[in-house]
Amino acid sequence: MKLKPDEQAMLDGREGAAKRKAMELLVRYAEALGVEEFVDTTNVAGVPGQANVFLRNYYREHGASYDAIFSLFDLDSDEIVEVPRVAVHACHLQGGVDPEHWDVLGASAEAAAISRESEAGAVERGIRILKTCTPYAAGNVPQKNEHCAWMESSAVVYCNSVLGARTNTEGRESASAAMLTGKIPNFGFHLDEHRRGTHAIEVAVPVDSVMDWGMLGYFVGDAVQERIPVLTGRCGPPDLVRYKHFGAAAASSGGVEMYHIVGRTPEAPTAEAAFGGRRPVEKIVYGEAERRRVYEQLNSTATDHDVDYVMLGCPHAALEQIEEACRLLDGRKVHANTRLWIFTSRAVRQEADRRGLTEVIRSAGAHLLTDTCSAIGQALPPGTKVAALDSAKQAHYLPAIMGIQAWFGDTADCIAAALTGRWHGALR
Ligand code: F3S
b/e per residue 164-201 (b: at least 16 CB within 10 A): bbbbbbbebbbbbbbbbbbbbbbbbbbeeeebbbbbbb
Q: Which architecture characterizes domain 301-420 according to CATH? A: 2-Layer Sandwich (3.30)
Ligand 1 mutation target, pool 47, 93, 94, 341, most atoms within 8 A of CB: 94
Cα 87 to middle of ligand 1, angstroms:
27
- What pLDDT shows up at residue 370? 98
Atom nearest to 248 CA in ligand 1: 5
- What pLDDT shows up at residue 342? 99
Cα 33 to middle of ligand 1, angstroms:
28
Write the CB contacts of 359 (distance below 8 Å, at least 6 apart in sequence). Answer: none
Cα 400 to middle of ligand 1, angstroms:
15
Cα 82 to middle of ligand 1, angstroms:
32
pLDDT, tens digit (0-9, with 9 covering 90-100), for 39-92 = 999 999 999 999 999 999 999 999 999 999 999 999 999 999 999 999 999 999
What is the Cα–Cα distance from 313 to 271, expressed in whole angstroms?
32
Write the CB contacts of 195 (distance below 8 Å, at least 6 apart in sequence). Answer: 160, 166, 189, 228, 258, 267
pLDDT, tens digit (0-9, with 9 covering 90-100), for 363-406 = 999 999 999 999 999 999 999 999 999 999 999 999 999 999 99
Q: Where are the domains of the chain?
A: 5-192, 196-297, 301-420
Cα 51 to middle of ligand 1, angstroms:
19
Name all residues whose Cβ lies below 6 A of ligand 1.
94, 133, 154, 248, 314-316, 343, 373, 375-376, 393-394
Ligand 1 mutation target, pool 393, 396, 398, most atoms within 8 A of CB: 393
Flag whether pLDDT at 226 surpasses 90. Answer: yes
Atom nearest to 153 CA in ligand 1: 5
Same fold, 5-192 and 301-420: yes
Ligand 1 mutation target, pool 50, 97, 130, 133, most atoms within 8 A of CB: 133
Residue 96 pLDDT grade (very low, low, confident, very high; cuts 50, 70, 90): confident
CA-nearest residue, atom 2 of ligand 1? 373
Q: SS in 3 state form for the chain?
A: CCCCHHHHHHHCCCCCHHHHHHHHHHHHHHHHHCCCCEEECCEEEECCCCCCHHHHHHCHHHCCCHHHHHHHHHCCCCCCCCCCCCCCEEEECCCCCCCCCCCCCCCCHHHHHHHHHHHHHHHHCCCEECCCCCHHHCCCCCCCCCEEEECCHHHHHHHHHCCCCECCECCHHHHHHHHHHCEEECCHHHCHHHCCCCEEEEEEEEECCHHHHHHHHHHHHHHHCCCCEEEEEEECCCCHHHHHHHHHHHHHHCCCCCCEECCCCCCCCCHHHHHCCCCCCEEEEECHHHHHHHHHHHCCCCCCCECCEEEEEEEEECHHHHHHHHHHHCCCCCCCCCEEEEEECHHHHHHHHHCCHHHHHHHCCCEEEECCCHHHHCCCCCCCCEEEECCHHHHHHHHHHHCCEEEECCHHHHHHHHHHCECCCCCC
Region 338-343 average pLDDT? 98
pLDDT, tens digit (0-9, with 9 covering 90-100), for 266-296 = 999 999 999 999 999 999 999 999 999 999 9
Give yes or no for a contact between 165 and 178, defined as CB atoms under 8 angstroms apart.
Answer: no
CATH topology for the 5-192 domain: Aconitase; domain 3 (3.30.499)
Burial (CB count within 10 angstroms: exposed 0-12, middle 13-18, buried 19+), residue 122: buried
Burial (CB count within 10 angstroms: exposed 0-12, middle 13-18, buried 19+), residue 117: middle
